[in-house]
Amino acid sequence: MAKKDTRKSVAEARVERFTWFLMVLVFALLHFAQKSESIDVPHWLIPFAGAVILLGSGFYQYQHRWHVSPITWIAGTLLFVLVLVNFQDKNLDFYGFTLLTFAAVIGFGVLTGET
């Protein structure tokens, strides 16, 4: 019986690295926009951006029949739930939790080689 090749294609690895890059870029841009006094960034925008990036990446990888780590689905869904919670209570700020979620996804990907 032949073993299944578990190595990633170059394209799959590129998509994962691009996902990580987008998470860092969007978080940094929204962080600086939030610190700016002239721009009012709603609290729900940062977890929403993370949810869109993670779930979008997951669906894209799934469409190409690539393996998608459960952490991608879990983190993306969790961030989306935080957006919904934030719509209920506009005073909640999930900025720090979103940063930890991004760090966990990237850290998990680096340690295990999958995201």
Q: Give the tens place of pLDDT for each residue, 67-109.
A: 899 999 999 999 999 999 999 998 888 888 998 999 999 999 8
Write out pLDDT tens, residues 3-27. 555 677 888 889 999 999 999 999 8
- Element of type H or E holding 84: helix 70-88
What is the reported pTM? Answer: 0.86
Instruction: Reply yes or no on whether the pLDDT at 52 is more than 80.
Output: yes
Distance, in Å, from the CA atom of 108 to the CA atom of 101, rounded to the nearest integer, reads: 10
